[in-house]
A and B are shown apart, each in its own frame.
Chain A
Amino acid sequence: MNLFQPVLGSRIVKTTTVFGAMLLCAGNSVASPRHVERRFKVDAHPIVTIHNPNGVLTVKAWSRPEVKLVADIQSDKVDFDAEQSGNRVEVNARAVSSSISPEELRADLEIFVPEDTELQIHNDSGSVDVADVMGDMAVDTIAAGVALEDAAGYLTIKTVAGSIQCVRCAGRLEITSVSGNVKLLEMRSYNVRAQTWAGDMFFDGEFLPNGTYRLKNYSGLIEVRFSPADSFDLSATSVRGKVDSQANLAPPAHSRGYESKFSHSLFGVLNQGKAKVELVSFDGTINIHKRD
């Protein structure tokens, strides 16, 4: 879809800043920061898509039926536009020059959205912070760290090197990273699948009945905190590392997948075993420790 193409019958608000033209008019090129503010009226369940190569992105929920965008763009080598098509708002920052420093590429964005907004975020480097948004969310970064707070819905986070932190996240969570650490705190999610190759993983949250929790890394620490009242069926396996558990587990009813002479494994059930917890590492240590 061409974002710049007018669509008959739909409400379109577009702000496009093309600095090449401005430079031609000015006749003198001076890189200068810009401050942009835009507001877009939206209906229920709007979709907001953000593409930003570098910068701090903050998204917060508010009670108004509108999306507010505040952008600080560091240089005129970045083309920036925000437009609305129906109930979708697209925000795009893009380098217009190949010779650009990370600082010149930077655009810091603060965006306020209704609570039920669906977010699609691509922020290559910098950071991504999202708070109180309950809609589905897909966050894709390269080096940017991602921090979600009080989020819900179907949450998909993918980074290459960026660390990931979720606090009080509910719904379903899928995380993949190459070298980012993963920290999941006060979780209320019924389905967690998290994988990183070279990162530490920490989980401290509720194990909901019928919930599934799978953490996997290659190297690094996997640590899970539990309380004695929790109910889960545990499978913990590390090929080269140790598995250390403070849980008083009953033997499992059935044999498990990776039970083999080549791995250090621990299988067992705490209380009724209502949730399924699977922890897998190749070279890392796995700790299942009591919550303080």
Chain B
Amino acid sequence: MPAMQCSDFQDHLEPWMEGQCPPEAEAHFRTCGNCRGLLADLEEIRLTGRTLGEVEPPPRVWSAIREQIEEEGLVGARGWRNWLPSIGMVWPRPAVAGATLVVLIAGAFLLGIEARNYNNAQRWTQGTEAATRPIQTNLGNFELHEVSALHGPNQVVNASFQKNLQIVDKYIAMCEKSVREEPENELARDYLYGAYQQKADLLAEMSERGENPQ
């Protein structure tokens, strides 16, 4: 029987994280540094999530992203990505820190893991694009939801949110361009991840103001 490859091992991630370790996966795990690193990262994400109990965003933030993730079909997708939505199922909801954190963790996770597994520029590009596309889509849909709901009484605040959302979008576009041009530029990818994080924060803040206008 041929030895298990990394792509096969990734199909076993979800049961593995639940304590089910088939012998062939265990054999691959013992010999593959990349997959050991991947599991270490996932474990760290899970442990970190458990310490984030005090960060609870408005329920509709969670609902909106969750719906979008499901609509995107990521729940049923094949490969290691199908493990991602189950992070939210395994963790208690407060510990996940809501949709924002799911997106952020997924972003960091995707960028980091994809980066580790690709060795040349073309594959870096493909990996990063594949990794960021779902985040981008979810944030975009969430944005539509939040921007349309932005009707708080403070017009200065509304205008500021709109303007700064455009600023962050501009930086996301510029970071994506940089990553495409220089796929191995770690700092550019770091900025891209940071820009997504900033956008998620901004949308969460808008959501909070929408629910609880001052």
Contacts and interface: CB of A to CB of B under 8 A. Distances in A.
A119 B164 CA distance: 26
A54 B154 CA distance: 8
Interface residues of B, number: 30
A258 B186 contact: yes
Interface string B67-110: 00000000000000000000000000000000000000000000
Contacts, number: 99
Interface string B190-214: 0100010010001001000100011
Interface string B169-203: 00100110010001011111001000100100010
A95 B214 CA distance: 6
Contact of A161 (B164, B184, B195): B164
Given A53-B153, A237-B187, A95 B160 contact: no
Contact of A124 (B154, B184, B186): B154
Contacts of A143: 156-157, 160
B147 interface: no
Nearest to A98: B153
B188 A98 contact: no
A125 interface: yes
B198 A100 contact: no
A51 B213 CA distance: 11
Given A142-B161, A239-B191, A105 B153 contact: yes
A179 B167 contact: yes
Interface string A86-97: 000000011101
Given A95-B214, A160-B160, A197 B198 contact: yes
29 contacts: A51-B214, A94-B214, A95-B154, A97-B153, A98-B153, A98-B213, A100-B153, A101-B155, A124-B157, A124-B214, A125-B154, A142-B161, A143-B156, A160-B164, A178-B167, A179-B163, A179-B164, A179-B167, A198-B167, A218-B191, A239-B187, A260-B186, A262-B182, A262-B185, A262-B187, A263-B187, A280-B187, A282-B174, A282-B175
Interface of A: 51-54, 93-95, 97-102, 105, 122, 124-125, 142-143, 160-161, 178-179, 197-198, 218, 237, 239, 258, 260, 262-263, 280, 282-283
- Please provide the 4 A-B residue pairs with the shortest distance between their CB atoms, ordered closest to farther: A53-B214, A262-B185, A95-B153, A125-B156
Interface of B: 151, 153-157, 160-161, 163-164, 167-168, 171, 174-175, 178, 182, 184-188, 191, 195, 198, 202, 205, 209, 213-214
